Amino acid sequence: MSRHSYTDTDFLKGASIAKVQSSVFDVTSAAYGGKPNSDITQALANAWRDACASTWPTKVVIPKGTYYLRGAILQGPCKAPIEVQVQGNLKAPLDSKYLTKQDTWVGFQYVDRFTLYGGGTFDGQNNCYKNKYCKATDAVNLRFDFVTNAMIRDITSLDSKHFHINVFGCRNVTFQYVTITAPEDSANTDGIHIGRSYGITVDHTTIGTGDDCISLGDGSKRIIVTNVTCGPGHGISIGSLGKYQNEEPVAGVIVKNCTLTNTQNGLRIKTWPGSPVFGTATHIHFQDIAMVNVGNPIFIDQQYCPYSQCAQKAPSTVQISRVTFANIKGTSATPVAVQLMCSRKLPCQNVGLEDIDITYSGDKGPLTSQCAYVKPQFTRVAILLLVLPILLV
What the chain holds in terms of domains, given with CATH numbers, is 20-391 (2.160.20.10)
pLDDT at 309: 67
Q: Which element (helix H / strand E) includes 10?
A: helix 8-21
State mean pLDDT over 260-286.
Answer: 95
Nearest to 383 by CA among 365, 352, 358, 362: 358
Q: Residue 192 and residue 171: Cα distance in Å, rounded?
A: 15
Given a contact cutoff of 8 angstroms between Cβ atoms, the answer to whether 272 and 238 are in contact is no
CA angle 59, 60, 65 (to 5 degrees): 130
pLDDT at 4: 41
Q: What are the C-alpha distances in Å from 84 to residues 61, 62, 127, 166?
A: 6, 8, 27, 18
Q: What are the C-alpha distances in Å from 369 to residues 29, 207, 339, 343?
A: 61, 28, 6, 17
Given a contact cutoff of 8 angstroms between Cβ atoms, the answer to whether 361 and 333 are in contact is no
User: Among the listed ranges 208-212, 225-229, 363-367, which one has the minimum average pLDDT value?
Assistant: 363-367
First to last CA, the chain: 94
pLDDT at 377: 93
Residues serving a catalytic function are 234
What's the pLDDT band for 138 if we cut at 50, 70, 90? confident
Q: What is the DSSP string of 308-375?
A: G-S-TTSPP-EEEEEEEEEEEEEEESSSEEEEEE--SSS--EEEEEEEEEEE--SSS---EEEEES--
* Position with higher pLDDT, 48 vs 8: 48
User: Among the listed ranges 64-68, 162-166, 185-189, 231-235, which one has the minimum average pLDDT value?
Assistant: 185-189
pLDDT at 153: 98
State mean pLDDT over 360-367.
Answer: 89
Provide the 3-class DSSP secondary structure of residue 273: coil
State mean pLDDT over 30-48.
Answer: 98
Q: What are the C-alpha distances in Å from 101 to residues 16, 52, 162, 190, 369?
A: 39, 21, 13, 19, 46
pTM attached to this predicted model: 0.92
Give me the count of residues in the chain.
393
